[in-house]
Structures are given as structure tokens and as C-alpha cells.
């Protein structure tokens, strides 16, 4: 007979925090919780800061909170575990860049191609328009095939073999050489941590689909589907009744369809009455279960609502006017906290159809391995390249976690709000690119 030890969730997360949280040598150097504002939802919003990975990279120290680590939940363990897991996700992207797990080259694309090496085609680097490059203060430079560049050799999940991919777009912690142009930075989109490699891989794949659908909806011409609650959402509706104020409008959920990738991508809109800040906050959630994706979107929207309020207070205290060009993932949240920003959001989401939740596609409750295979097959069958890296370091494995990274040059990752890759061919699948009004997602 084999005995299995089952631990309470609170106990498990407490023990994990004991091993991770420490101001001198913890992966998480500080943790805290934001105070609920009057008439706000009764949720826990946690924040955390990460250990000083910049020291090993000889980089200047980032400002507090720049890693955008947070966790939200109804119960304490939800907020705690999300904050800790997100710390591990951010850390993995930097640590993997430092421990030599990837084969790296610093050379030109021309040299790789002439040597017969598998390398992405030039078309994968045509991301911005000439007008964007010409803007004053635009942070990125055009790619030139003869320019020195950093490359990683990574494996493919879609069966076309290893390939040299741009390090600055694949690995969050990659530091460019002095002679390397900055074409587009890596973001955490497509990176996930979990207690098994398969679960981490699934979460990473779902995030790629989520952000692609959200960007395709915001910048493209597709309509969302306003979800009308019914018996399928009864548990989520009960949570809203219990933990969200009656004085505020009900959360609104929109399905953001992908033209060719499976799963549910949900945007949750939280509104407040006119005169209150933030007026609007949007959160994203995804997955193979509609209610679960809606719940994730609801939690993120509540976290974004807190962030938007914080940014608005900070701007009021400093007297700083919101920037017109936004090259961070906070300024846009502050912009859409205002009356004018809320108007833009309302206009975009006004273009929708409406369906009861029970009439949307059924949930996919298959095992993780089967779900991963379905996602990978969808990339392959729609002609998308998909690359993979295991970012699990020894310290992550010792904590019982795995970190996985997936990246596709054929989907849109989360861009800086005023630097959307308007020339990306993926927008054609969403009806074509419309305009580059900064997106509202952090």
C-alpha cells in the first residue's frame, strides 16, 4: 500500500513562501497586498518584487514594481500562489539567459543562411511600417539581414526541426550586444510555470493564443461575442453576487474569437459610475473551460482596476500628464482609467454579437497531454511555426516547479502600447489592421 500526503492549500503555499520569500536571498524579495478601496470587490490583490537578476547581467537596478508581478484571488492562497508563481515565471526568463542552456550565436542572418543553418526568413522581421520607424522617440530599429544579431538555437513543436531565432524576441533576460539593433523585445507572453512540465506547457500555449486573440480583436476588424449569463455560468454569477459591490455595474464578459486556434479567450470589463477612477478596467483569461476562463479574466480585471487606480493617484500626486506615446505597460492602464479612455474601450467593444453561455462551444476537459497535442496540432495545421524552450533551472525544480517557454513568429505577442507591429501579417487573419490606438492591456 502506498501512502499519499494531502496538504491544505494554505499550508502548501505557506511552505512555498517560506522557501522563496526573503529580502536578502529569496527569489521573492518582498510581498505585499493592496488595500481595498471603498465599494471595491472583496478580493485580495497581492504584489511582489523579484531578486536582483540585474546584478548578474551588469544592468542598472529597475524601479520597484517594474516586473509587474501580482496575484489576485478570493481566497488568500489564490493571491499568494499566483504572486509566487509569477515571480518564478519572471525569474526563469532571466535565469535561463544566464546559465548557458541555449546554444547562442552573435552573427548576421546572412552568415547563418550562407552556412546552410536553419534560420527564420527575412519576412519574419518585417513588423513595423516606415511611418512607425520615422516617429520621434520610436524605440525600435529596422532589421537588416547583414547586421550582427543575437540568435538562439531552439526546438520546434510543429515538426520542422531546430531553428535559429532572434534571442531578443525569445528570451526575456537576453541583453543585447552594443552593435545589435533593437527590433522587438521579448515579453512574458508564452512563458508559464506549473508543478508539471505538461501543465506549464499548456498554460504557455494558452497564453500565446490569448494575447494573439486580444491583439487581433483590438487592432483588427473582428467582433467580440458578448456572453449572456445562464446556467453554465451560475457558479461565477454567485461569486460576483457575493464578492462584488451592488453599487457598480455587473462585470461584462466578451469572447474574443481566434480565427484558427482553439480555446476560449475572454475579456472582462469592470466599469464604475461616471466621476470615479478608474472608469474602466479590462482583464484577460483563457483556457479550454469557458467558466474557468471567465473567472481568470474577472480576477485579472480586478487586479487591473487596482493598478489603474494606483497609476491615476501617482499621476495626480506628481502632476504628470499622461504620455501620448506609451512605451511601457502601465501608462496605457492609466490612460483607460479616464473618461476619454473609457469611451475608446466602449466604442471598441460595442462591435459585438451576443450569445448565451450555453450556446458557445463546449468545454474541453481532456487530460493535459491531449490538450497540449490539440493546441500544437492547431498551430501546425494552420501553418504556424512554434518554438519551445525549457526554462526550468535547478532552483525552480527544487521548489517543485517547471517553467516552459513557447514562441511563434506567426502570432502577435503583447506589444508596447504605442509600438504595435502594424506590418505583422497575422492581422490579415483578423480582417486587416485598423489603427494603432494603444491597447489597454498590462
Q: What are phi and psi of 329, to 5 degrees?
A: -110, 35
Residue 323: per-residue pLDDT: 66
Q: What are phi and psi of 71, to 5 degrees?
A: -150, 140
Kindly report, residue by residue over 275-331, the tens digit of the pLDDT. 888 889 999 999 999 999 999 999 999 989 888 877 777 777 776 666 678 998 888
Residue 409: per-residue pLDDT: 97
Nearest partner of 264 among 187, 361, 182, judged by Cα: 361
Confidence class of residue 398 from pLDDT cuts 50, 70 and 90?
A: very high
The answer to whether the beta carbons of residues 418 and 327 sit under 8 Å apart is yes
H-assigned helices in 244-338: 290-318, 331-335
The answer to whether the beta carbons of residues 44 and 33 sit under 8 Å apart is yes
Average pLDDT value for residue range 232-238? 97
Residue 293: per-residue pLDDT: 98
Highest mean pLDDT among 14-23, 172-181, 225-234: 225-234
Stronger pLDDT, 114 or 47, i.e. the higher one: 114
**pLDDT at 2 > cutoff 60:** no
DSSP 263: S
Question: Comparing 16-20, 177-181, 197-201, 329-333, which segment has the lowest mean pLDDT?
Answer: 329-333
Kindly report, residue by residue over 115-165, the tens digit of the pLDDT. 999 999 999 999 999 999 999 999 999 999 999 999 999 999 998 899 999
Burial of 161 (0-12, 13-18, 19+ CB in 10 A): exposed
Residue 236: per-residue pLDDT: 97
**pLDDT at 3 > cutoff 70:** no
Confidence class of residue 421 from pLDDT cuts 50, 70 and 90?
A: very high
- Residues 21, 22, 24: CA angle, nearest 5 degrees: 150
**pLDDT at 356 > cutoff 90:** yes
**pLDDT at 191 > cutoff 90:** yes
Confidence class of residue 257 from pLDDT cuts 50, 70 and 90?
A: very high
Amino acid at each position: 500500500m502506498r501512502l499519499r500526503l494531502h496538504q491544505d492549500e494554505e499550508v502548501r503555499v505557506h511552505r512555498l513562501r517560506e522557501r522563496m520569500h526573503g529580502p536578502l536571498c529569496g527569489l521573492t524579495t518582498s510581498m505585499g497586498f493592496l488595500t481595498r478601496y471603498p465599494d471595491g470587490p472583496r478580493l485580495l490583490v497581492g504584489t511582489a518584487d523579484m531578486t536582483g537578476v540585474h546584478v548578474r547581467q551588469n544592468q542598472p537596478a529597475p524601479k520597484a514594481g517594474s516586473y509587474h508581478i501580482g496575484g489576485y484571488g478570493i481566497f488568500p492562497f489564490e493571491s499568494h500562489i499566483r504572486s509566487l508563481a509569477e515571480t518564478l515565471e519572471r525569474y526563469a526568463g532571466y535565469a535561463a539567459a544566464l546559465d548557458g542552456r541555449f546554444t547562442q550565436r552573435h552573427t548576421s542572418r546572412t552568415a547563418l543562411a550562407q552556412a546552410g543553418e536553419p534560420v527564420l526568413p527575412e519576412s519574419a522581421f518585417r513588423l513595423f511600417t516606415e511611418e512607425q520607424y520615422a516617429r520621434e522617440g520610436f524605440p525600435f530599429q529596422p532589421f537588416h539581414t547583414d547586421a550582427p544579431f543575437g540568435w538562439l538555437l531552439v526546438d520546434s513543436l510543429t515538426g520542422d526541426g531546430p531553428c535559429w531565432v532572434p534571442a531578443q524576441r525569445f528570451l526575456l533576460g537576453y541583453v543585447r550586444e552594443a552593435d545589435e539593433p533593437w527590433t522587438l523585445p521579448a515579453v512574458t507572453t508564452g512563458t508559464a510555470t506549473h508543478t508539471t512540465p505538461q501543465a506549464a506547457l499548456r498554460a504557455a500555449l494558452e497564453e500565446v493564443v490569448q494575447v494573439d486573440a486580444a491583439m487581433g480583436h483590438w487592432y483588427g476588424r473582428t467582433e467580440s461575442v458578448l456572453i449572456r449569463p445562464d446556467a453554465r455560468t451560475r457558479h461565477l454569477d454567485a461569486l460576483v453576487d457575493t464578492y462584488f459591490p451592488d453599487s457598480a455595474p455587473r462585470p461584462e464578459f466578451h469572447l474574443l474569437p481566434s480565427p484558427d486556434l482553439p480555446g476560449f479567450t475572454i475579456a472582462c470589463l469592470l466599469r464604475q459610475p461616471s466621476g470615479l477612477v478608474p472608469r474602466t478596467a479590462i482583464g484577460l483569461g483563457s483556457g479550454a473551460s469557458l467558466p474557468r476562463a471567465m473567472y481568470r479574466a474577472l480576477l485579472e480585471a480586478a487586479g487591473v482596476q487596482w493598478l489603474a487606480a494606483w497609476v491615476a493617484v501617482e499621476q495626480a500626486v506628481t502632476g504628470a500628464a499622461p504620455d501620448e506615446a506609451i512605451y511601457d505597460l502601465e501608462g496605457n492602464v492609466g490612460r483607460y482609467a479616464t473618461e476619454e479612455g473609457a469611451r475608446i474601450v466602449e466604442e471598441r467593444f460595442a462591435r459585438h454579437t451576443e450569445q448565451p453561455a450555453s450556446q458557445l462551444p463546449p468545454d474541453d476537459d481532456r487530460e493535459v497531454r491531449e490538450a497540449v497535442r490539440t493546441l500544437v496540432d492547431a498551430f501546425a495545421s494552420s501553418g504556424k511555426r512554434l518554438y519551445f524552450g525549457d526554462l526550468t533551472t535547478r532552483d525552480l525544480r527544487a521548489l517543485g516547479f517547471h517553467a516552459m517557454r513557447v514562441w511563434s513568429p506567426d502570432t502577435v505577442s503583447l506589444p508596447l502600447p504605442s509600438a504595435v507591429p502594424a506590418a505583422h501579417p497575422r492581422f490579415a487573419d483578423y480582417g486587416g489592421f485598423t489603427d494603432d490606438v494603444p491597447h489597454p492591456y498590462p
